[in-house]
Amino acid sequence: MSELLLLNGPNLGILGRREPDIYGSETLADIEQAVAEEVAEFGWKVVARQHDCEGEMVRTVQDSYHVVGAILNPGALMMAGWSLRDALANFPRPWIEVHLSNVWAREQFRHQSILGSLADGVIFGLGAQGYRLAARGLAHRTGAATP
């Protein structure tokens, strides 16, 4: 069975309790389950990881070259996660960057992702649904799903 990496960064482990007016009321476990349901038809298994430390995220990326693809919500590391960027530059599989909130509708410092130019796609501002869309996009990108 092929594996899909679902990697979430700092502060995303407290979804559901963290500023629900911005990030929604769904927990990370809810999102992981939704992605698992979305990719089950492709015979994919979700490998979900959440780290509050950039180094742990880097190690997860480096240890996941075998996966079919990845969905990554780097949280605030999108703005300053240079070692994560370096790890993703070498990642041999397609991946999509996802953010729950519309970062361009928020503070100016959130308006740039140092990772987005490396990603196969980016999804911002669609809440938890963005993860499902990313999963479907990766299935199309890898040929697991037909248009």
> What residues are annotated to the active site?
23, 99
101 is in an annotated binding site: yes
110 is in an annotated binding site: yes
Residues 106-117: b if buried by 16+ CB within 10 A, e if exposed: eeeebeebbbee
Q: Which of helix, strand or coil describes residue 105?
A: helix
Cα-based angle 29, 128, 40 (whole degrees, multiple of 5): 65
21 is in an annotated binding site: no
83 is in an annotated binding site: no
73 is in an annotated binding site: yes
State the Cα–Cα distance between residues 80 and 60, nearest whole angstrom: 18
Binding residues, as ranges, are 73, 86, 100-101, 110
Binding residues for substrate, as ranges, are 73, 86, 100-101, 110
